[in-house]
């Protein structure tokens, strides 16, 4: 019985943690940078510009509230009508610079989420400390993000 439990625990761990990222899909325009890790489930497109960071989560049909992932002639594209984005995503080698940019995007998204929550709850005393690295690493290094996961920020 113990062997079965250990085996199941090992399988669960293998399913949730992925190998270090080697490649990521990136699209760039004048104003926007789009990141897409095609291994992550649920699918998510990360959208960034100077003061904007947003994680656009997709359903099983490659649609979200804001955007759409689609294939055209064997290439992956991301379209977002609200932000006027329709961009081809190219596979790039994952670098430390890309990782830093994604972490910054994640920080901006976290700040925006906290600000919305603060405004809706009319909280004035909370000070956002920008310490979201552990949450970013969890997000980056796991294939599946549980709906029950609660970030530290």
Instruction: Evaluate whether residue 8 is within a structural domain.
Output: no
Instruction: Evaluate whether residue 2 is within a structural domain.
Output: no
* pLDDT at site 10: 46
**Residue range(s) defining the domain that contains residue 129:** 25-141
Instruction: Evaluate whether residue 37 is within a structural domain.
Output: yes
Instruction: Evaluate whether residue 73 is within a structural domain.
Output: yes
Task: Kindly state the DSSP code that residue 146 receives in the 8-state scheme.
Answer: -
Instruction: Evaluate whether residue 56 is within a structural domain.
Output: yes
Q: Average pLDDT, stretch 3-29?
A: 66
* pLDDT at site 16: 52
Summarize pLDDT for 82-99 with one digit per residue, the tens.
999 999 999 999 999 999
* DSSP sequence for 79-123: EETTTTEEEEEEEEE--HHHHHHHHHHHHHHHHHHHHHHHHHHT-
Query: Is 8 a residue whose pLDDT tops 60?
Result: no
Query: Is 3 a residue whose pLDDT tops 80?
Result: no
The domain tally of the chain equals: 1
For the stretch 7-32, what's the b/e string if a residue is b when 16 or more beta carbons lie within 10 angstroms of its beta carbon? eeeeeeeeeeeeeebeebbbbeeeeb
Instruction: Evaluate whether residue 58 is within a structural domain.
Output: yes
pLDDT band at 4 (very low <50, low <70, confident <90, very high): low
Summarize pLDDT for 103-134 with one digit per residue, the tens.
999 999 988 888 888 778 777 777 767 778 88
CB of 106 closer than 8 Å to CB of 53: yes
Instruction: Evaluate whether residue 49 is within a structural domain.
Output: yes
Summarize pLDDT for 40-86 with one digit per residue, the tens.
888 999 999 988 899 999 988 888 988 999 999 999 999 999 999 99
Instruction: Evaluate whether residue 111 is within a structural domain.
Output: yes
């Amino acid at each position: 019985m113990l062997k079965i439990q250990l085996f199941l625990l090992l399988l669960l761990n293998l399913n949730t943690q992925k190998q270090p990222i080697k490649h990521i899909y990136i699209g760039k325009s004048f104003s926007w940078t789009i990141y897409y890790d095609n291994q992550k489930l649920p699918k998510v497109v990360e959208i960034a510009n100077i003061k904007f960071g947003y994680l656009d989560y997709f359903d099983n049909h490659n649609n979200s509230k804001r955007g759409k992932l689609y294939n055209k002639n064997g290439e992956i594209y991301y379209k977002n009508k609200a932000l006027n984005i329709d961009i081809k995503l190219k596979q790039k080698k994952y670098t430390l610079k890309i990782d830093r940019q994604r972490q910054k995007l994640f920080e901006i998204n976290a700040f925006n989420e906290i600000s919305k929550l603060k405004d809706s709850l009319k909280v004035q005393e909370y000070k956002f400390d920008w310490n979201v690295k552990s949450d970013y690493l969890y997000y980056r290094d796991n294939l599946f993000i549980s709906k029950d996961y609660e970030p530290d920020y």
